[in-house]
Structure 1
């Protein structure tokens, strides 16, 4: 019974310039570790092959070091790897793949699917029908020739392609080339392994997107997995197991604060997250000065625990209560300034007014601490 690992969208060479340098470096390294995890998983689960459905590399211009590290990371699995070119690493006349070959970086057990056709893995019982992208954008269905490909009857027939299933993934796909929803049926495939959609998704029992093994976007699409696919023999239904491979969990929260319980709930959610979290948080609504202190403390703790925390508070207005103002001892002119800043948060320069109010409150708190006996 052939068993193989289906993965895709490694995007090696991707950079994370919007993050702090330390976090960016860790996220880049996690992608190399993901390949090592896949190799280990394939070995432990006694897979016959690893199929990579496109976008191994994020761009044609990745460094030679990145190329070498990618293929070095596959060494944990000695069986055959089949790597398909996708839209980010299309098999151009001169490409990242030709450079890898010139470098001598491609191991003997790695098969590069750079031309349409069939890669026969006789020992493993697999015939892999390949639809590589030979240019970045293609508007025809490159899997259509699968219907004409002849393969030995005793081999399990597996398609390998990169693109968007027609009518299902129009939004959020990277490649423009369409793939017929019923391609597995029309081409008599036992399984169709797809890439481009970065999350795990079943199209039908014989057609799956594996998603990227390590998330790299704030998108709730079940990324960070690989698929272990077992097929008893030609014509039999595939058994697909989703296996989590992600090092980091990417979370994107959009929350509105209105009452104290909203803040309590936010802090509770922060405390429940695992350390390997990349969090993008955007807050709106209102918060008291006392609440702002609690929020700052919670975020400070989170920043030390998590891989990365980015918090946008530009739409979160400070709404000091009477108790807040009394605690600041902001009488007379200072009280008038605070009231003016509170009102200006509603205008075009609301973010500046909010920052000014926060700074003023912080200075007043520091002054009060200094005068206390």
Structure 2
């Protein structure tokens, strides 16, 4: 029985510009930690090889320190690694992979397949047919040559590629780089390990996407896993199991608020969120001043507890009640303006009322 770990889309060096600097740094570091967990998993499983199907790095211009950290993270597994470039880290003449080779940090047990061809693993009696990307976008199927490549008799025949299986993936796949959906069958592969799609996805009994091992988008598509592939021998159907590996859970919460019970339900939901969650909170509806204060307090508490929280409130409107306005103690001219705005029915007047009441409430909270 041959045991493989199939992974892809590590995106080392990714920048999280939409987050606060502290959170962005932690999310970037989590990608190194994921690679280290992959290495330890491979060692624990006594894997015969780890196949990495592209986009190891997120960009060509990552620093020498980042490159060194990546290979340091791989150290716990001393077995065979086979890596190919993807669309983010294509094998350019002066790209990240050439930089890594010049640094001399690529261990002897790591094979970088920077050109199309067959990587032979004699001890594992396996041949890996590799289709690395040598430019960011291609418009021909780089796995087509697999059909004619020969491999030693009686060895496993494995494929390693990065791109979009035609007709089976969403239109917003990262790159063109087409791959025929029946390539595994055409090329007589025992298993075809793919990268580019960031979630674990079965294409066929011999063809899978592993997805990124550390979730990095607000999509529920099976990210945060690696695949353990067991093959009894040439021609046998692989046994593929997705193994959870990622640390952070990215979630989107969309809530419409109208009555106090809606606010309390959201407060309870936020209180239940854990330290490793990354939240996108989108709010709509109306709140009185008490509801807004309760919500602000809950969001502030959640921001201090979860890994990261982004909140979109553009659809949320402040609608102060008569009691709210009375509690503001706005005398004189301001009181008259509030009263006039509250009696008006137009949307502009109502929006002005909400803004003014919010400013006054904020002033009183600051003075308290």
**For 1:348 and 1:119, how far apart are their aligned partners in 2?**
71
> Between Structure 1 and Structure 2, how many residues are aligned?
367
Q: Conserved in 2, the CA contact under 8 Å of 1:341 and 1:356?
A: no
1:15: Cα distance to partner? 1.0
**For 1:15 and 1:166, how far apart are their aligned partners in 2?**
29
**Which position in structure 1 is the counterpart of 2:208?**
208
**For 2:232 and 2:119, how far apart are their aligned partners in 1?**
20
**For 2:180 and 2:171, how far apart are their aligned partners in 1?**
16
1:157: Cα distance to partner? 1.5
Q: Conserved in 1, the CA contact under 8 Å of 2:320 and 2:357?
A: no
Mean Cα displacement is larger for which, 120-129 or 2-11?
120-129
- 3-state DSSP of counterpart to 1:102: helix
Mind listing any 5+ residue stretches in structure 1 that lack a counterpart?
Answer: none
Residues 1:260 and 2:263 are matched in the alignment: no
**For 2:145 and 2:217, how far apart are their aligned partners in 1?**
33
Q: Conserved in 1, the CA contact under 8 Å of 2:338 and 2:353?
A: no
Mean Cα displacement is larger for which, 150-159 or 295-304?
150-159
**Which position in structure 2 is the counterpart of 1:190?**
190
- In structure 2, do the counterparts of structure 1 residues 348 and 307 end up closer, same or farther at CA, with 3 Å as the change threshold? farther
1:285: Cα distance to partner? 1.2
**For 1:44 and 1:356, how far apart are their aligned partners in 2?**
62
Q: Conserved in 2, the CA contact under 8 Å of 1:199 and 1:209?
A: yes
**For 1:302 and 1:229, how far apart are their aligned partners in 2?**
39
**Which position in structure 2 is the counterpart of 1:128?**
128
Residues 1:42 and 2:42 are matched in the alignment: yes
Mind listing any 5+ residue stretches in structure 2 that lack a counterpart?
Answer: none
- In structure 2, do the counterparts of structure 1 residues 322 and 153 end up closer, same or farther at CA, with 3 Å as the change threshold? farther
**Which position in structure 1 is the counterpart of 2:319?**
319
1:113: Cα distance to partner? 1.1
- 3-state DSSP of counterpart to 1:297: helix
- 3-state DSSP of counterpart to 1:75: coil
- In structure 2, do the counterparts of structure 1 residues 361 and 338 end up closer, same or farther at CA, with 3 Å as the change threshold? farther
Mean Cα displacement is larger for which, 166-175 or 75-84?
166-175
**For 2:171 and 2:345, how far apart are their aligned partners in 1?**
39
**What is the root-mean-square deviation of aligned Cα atoms in Å?**
2.3
1:150: Cα distance to partner? 1.2
Alpha-carbon displacement from aligned partner over 1:306-329 (angstroms, at most 9, x marks no partner)? 111111212200111233233334
**Which position in structure 2 is the counterpart of 1:165?**
165
Alpha-carbon displacement from aligned partner over 1:96-133 (angstroms, at most 9, x marks no partner)? 11111111010000000111111111212321111100
Mean Cα displacement is larger for which, 212-221 or 25-34?
212-221
1:252: Cα distance to partner? 2.0
Could you tell me the TM-score, scaled by structure 1's length? 0.92
Q: Conserved in 2, the CA contact under 8 Å of 1:345 and 1:354?
A: no
Residues 1:156 and 2:150 are matched in the alignment: no
- 3-state DSSP of counterpart to 1:76: coil
**Which position in structure 1 is the counterpart of 2:6?**
6
- In structure 2, do the counterparts of structure 1 residues 139 and 337 end up closer, same or farther at CA, with 3 Å as the change threshold? farther
Mean Cα displacement is larger for which, 294-303 or 336-345?
336-345
Counterparts of 1:76-115 in structure 2, within 5 Å, are 76-115=76-115
1:347: Cα distance to partner? 5.2
**For 2:366 and 2:91, how far apart are their aligned partners in 1?**
62
1:49: Cα distance to partner? 0.7
- In structure 2, do the counterparts of structure 1 residues 345 and 39 end up closer, same or farther at CA, with 3 Å as the change threshold? farther
